[in-house]
Chain A
Amino acid sequence: MDIVIDGLSKSYGNQKAVDNISFEVRTGEIVGFLGPNGAGKTTTMRMITQYLSPDSGQITIGGKSTTRNNLRGNIGYLPEHNPLYDDMPVIEYLAFCGQLQGIARGNLDQRIREMVVMCGLNDEKHKKIGELSKGYRQRVGLAQAMIHDPAILILDEPTTGLDPNQRVEIRDLIKKLGVHKSVILCTHILPEVEATCDRILIINKGKIVANGTPEALRSHTSGKSFILVDIEGAPREVITQAIKSLPGVSSVGLSADHRLLEVECADGNQTARAIYKLCVGKEWMLLQLSPVEVRLEDIFRNVTMN
């Protein structure tokens, strides 16, 4: 089910939390929704889930507007901080959520069993939620979001509190589900976004500042490439000067550990070829020549800091 968001705005008093944003999420797509704290992520999620109503703009889910229809049944939502009823046993809680989402009595037990297996809750299923560790609480939150097999999954920081193994499991699960569903994943863990998401949306101060695949964002936002080079056969200053004089190279510096040269250039491939030819011509030993990918952190900092 597609989500289309058009010109969405929401203010709290004088403060604009979300400022005229538009984007789409299509079926079978996992979109990573990033942004600094207070950027408007949660407010946007709350408007999509119809918890808050927008001041202006349209949200269309599967062709229907959220202003006139209650479309919450199509959405599975894991809110920020994962609120749960601590005094309810896990199974009872899942049954409660399933009933509220309109699962027929006959299917309910089956769905609960599936969720318990899918989210790895089997050992803890009879405990009260208040007795569970943070990781298990998170799993219960995920299970309640998915119990009615919604076409849309909106997960606000789904892997906080999980250990690395659990993170990988949940990530794989999201990927698997993302094949048939529209998934919006809100998180601060950038490697997770890279590993899971098809597309990245970055929001800052209520506005969308980046929207595209990780690769597209890299080339678009940086416009520069970095190459790490290790050359033997001449003093470092001589080599630095020689590389600096190559066309397209804007600067040559030292890498973080001071062992390698870091070359900043406009086109990585072209400069790499030029460096190779330079070494051949001067009979220097080329020990290492590796392109550096712009990290997502850098893109994130780049678009949200100014």
Chain B
Amino acid sequence: MRESWIIAKKELNSFFDSLVAYILLVAFLGFSGFFTWLWGNDIFFHKQASLDIFFNVALWSLFFFIPAITMRQFAEEKKTGTIELLLTKKLSNHQLVIGKFLACLLLVAIALAFTIPYYVSVARLGNIDHGSTITGYLGLILMSSMYIAIGLLASSLTNNQIVAFLMALLIGVVFQFIFGSLGSSQSGWLGSILTDLSVPTHYESMSRGVIDTKDVLYFLSITFLGLMLTELNISKRS
């Protein structure tokens, strides 16, 4: 764990050194803030003290931003050869993958922490449902974990960052749209399996305040699977 934490700290530092973190924070807060408070079907339009709008916007912004933070994780290490440097130190493949995962998740958590003023503001405006807000944040974190694992997997498959980004986005699209729309067009067990594989199915119930073990297990198992495949890829040393 100590080794993973060393890697996580280093990666987090390099996010902030290379401006990635600032661009991501500004873009995420700007984007989610604009759509939550200022434009279109915003929070005032609902006439209800709830962060539903924000959770919806955050889902979409993170969907695009996460591949951007995961794309360089392994692709760059492989391209510059620094992966050899890391994996000839007292560091296992497993610890390296966990370290990188933690760094990305912490960056997302920092971005989400900056939206706590939204929560405080809405809570002052009306009678907010604290439970559903907390589960909403939990849902965002779980969904981010899953997309980070997918992004890391994509990054471990190539040494080209752009390819890693596009691949992660493509897999994301499958989970975000394709499973859902295929599921609704099919009937019977196939349809229900496909619907169950779709991210919005699980995320929506969490942002409404329902914690179902099924949803939590869904996010955790895909995260786990993604990280395991990443580790497998790294151990192949291709």
Contact = CB atoms under 8 A, between A and B. Distances in A.
Interface of A: 46, 49-52, 70, 72-73, 75, 77, 79, 81, 83-88, 92, 96-97, 99-102, 144
B232 to A, nearest CB: 14
A72 B84 contact: no
Contacts of B91: 72, 100
B89 A79 contact: no
A79 B81 contact: yes
B17 A87 contact: yes
Contacts of B13: 92
A72 B90 contact: yes
A100 B6 contact: yes
Contacts of A72: 88-91
Contacts of A75: 88
Contacts of A97: 89
A81 to B, nearest CB: 6
Contacts of A85: 14, 82
A51 B90 contact: no
Minimum-distance CB pairs A-B, first 10: A83-B81, A49-B88, A73-B90, A100-B89, A83-B82, A77-B88, A99-B6, A79-B84, A51-B88, A72-B90
Nearest to B235: A53
B10 A96 contact: yes
Contact of B90 (A79, A83, A102): A102
Interface residues of B, number: 21
B17 A83 contact: no
A140 B176 CA distance: 45
Contacts of A46: 84, 88
A254 B149 CA distance: 71
A146 B43 CA distance: 58
B90 to A, nearest CB: 4
B18 interface: yes
A170 B14 CA distance: 31
A268 B7 CA distance: 61
Interface in B49-85: 80-82, 84-85
SS class, residues of chain A in contact with chain B: loop
SS class, residues of chain B in contact with chain A: helix
A83 to B, nearest CB: 4
Contacts of A92: 13
B237 A100 contact: no
A134 to B, nearest CB: 15
B88 A50 contact: yes
Residue of A79, A83, A92 most packed against chain B (CB within 10 A): A83
Contacts of B87: 51
Residue of B80, B82, B89, B90 most packed against chain A (CB within 10 A): B89
B14 A88 contact: yes
Interface in B211-238: 237
B80 A83 contact: yes
A100 B10 CA distance: 11
Given A46-B88, A72-B90, A72-B91, 14 more contacts: A49-B88, A51-B87, A51-B88, A70-B90, A72-B88, A72-B89, A73-B89, A73-B90, A79-B88, A83-B81, A96-B6, A100-B6, A100-B7, A101-B90
Nearest to B86: A100
A46 B88 CA distance: 8
Contacts of B86: 100
B53 to A, nearest CB: 38
B88 to A, nearest CB: 4
B3 interface: yes
A88 B18 CA distance: 10
B192 interface: no
Contacts of A49: 88
9 contacts: A51-B88, A84-B85, A85-B14, A86-B80, A87-B18, A92-B13, A100-B7, A100-B86, A101-B90
B115 interface: no
A157 to B, nearest CB: 13
Contacts of B80: 83, 86
Contact of A87 (B3, B14, B81, B90): B14
A87 B82 CA distance: 13
Given A51-B88, A96-B6, A101-B90, A81 B81 contact: yes
A84 B82 contact: yes
Nearest to A102: B90
Residue of B17, B18, B85 most packed against chain A (CB within 10 A): B85
A81 B89 CA distance: 17
Contact of B85 (A50, A83, A86, A99): A83
Contacts of B92: 70
A100 B81 contact: no
Nearest to B92: A70
Contacts of B237: 51-52
